[in-house]
């Protein structure tokens, strides 16, 4: 995977520390923290779904899934969570409700879901960082395409990401793993989205690529770029 950021690893970049850190859940207690955050966040607008999400499910502990949790540096409390499924031996959760076109199923695919922020304060900044962590998790695991299912009217907030619609008609599909609530299915090419943001002068390029956030998954961004750069150097002898 040759990307502009890998090629220019030592070029202009900035490091920014956050008032929280994001780590992968590993213990039962951490899975319970994520479930509680989902219950509170979804419960504000979708009480019935929120109630169902109050306990960790089997997928949380499955090897194909990674549950990421944001912790406040002030007191260590859980302030947000997101989950990533990388399809290896089973379909993505969304595929139980919608059959992806064969062209989009090629290679390694992932689904970003269960994004939840219990409190309203700093919601946008935290949302952006949770998705950034999910993006770099996908990129470090050599995912080709990632999918997100987003309900209305939250789908409007995702315009800033320059994502593609799986259905050009912008249809909303009831999702079995999200309480049969209609969702719009977005996707992006993990290796190409960086160049797209750069070409479109999207501010996300500065936030997700040019700025390093060491608090995200133990500096996964820098570690991934270093790995990519070494691979690029080896390929050129």
Ordered by start, the domain boundaries in the chain are: 4-235
The Cα 68–Cα 83 span in angstroms is: 6
Polymer length in residues for the chain: 237
CATH of domain 4-235: 3.40.630.30
Look at residue 119 and tell me whether its pLDDT is greater than 90: no
pLDDT in tens, 19-35: 999 999 999 999 999 99
Q: What is the pTM of this model?
A: 0.94
**Tokens 């952006």, located at residue:** 128
SS3 label, residue 183:
strand
pLDDT in tens, 169-187: 889 999 999 999 999 999 9
Q: Containing H/E element for 137?
A: helix 123-140
Interhelix angle for 123-140 vs 220-235, to 10°?
30
The Cα 70–Cα 114 span in angstroms is: 13
């Amino acid at each position: 995977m040759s990307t502009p950021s890998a090629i220019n690893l030592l070029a202009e970049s900035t490091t920014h520390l956050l008032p929280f850190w994001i780590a992968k859940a590993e213990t039962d207690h951490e899975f319970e923290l994520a479930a509680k955050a989902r219950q509170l966040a979804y419960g504000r607008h979708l009480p019935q779904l929120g109630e169902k999400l109050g306990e960790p499910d089997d997928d949380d502990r499955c090897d194909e899934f990674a549950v990421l949790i944001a912790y406040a540096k002030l007191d260590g409390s859980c302030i947000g969570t997101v989950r990533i499924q990388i399809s290896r031996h089973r379909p993505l959760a969304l595929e139980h409700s919608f059959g992806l076109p064969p062209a989009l199923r090629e290679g390694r695919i992932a689904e970003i879901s269960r994004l939840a922020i219990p409190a309203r304060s700093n919601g946008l900044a935290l949302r952006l960082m949770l998705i950034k962590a999910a993006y770099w998790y996908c990129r470090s695991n050599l995912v080709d395409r990632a999918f997100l299912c987003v309900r209305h009217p939250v789908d409007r907030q995702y315009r800033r990401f320059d994502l593609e619609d799986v259905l050009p008609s912008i249809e909303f599909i009831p999702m079995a793993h999200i309480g049969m609530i209609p969702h719009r299915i977005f996707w992006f090419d993990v290796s190409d989205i960086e160049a797209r943001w750069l070409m479109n002068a999207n501010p996300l390029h500065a936030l997700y690529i040019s700025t390093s956030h060491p608090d995200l998954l133990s500096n996964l961004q820098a570690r991934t770029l270093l790995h990519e750069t070494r691979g690029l150097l080896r390929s050129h002898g």
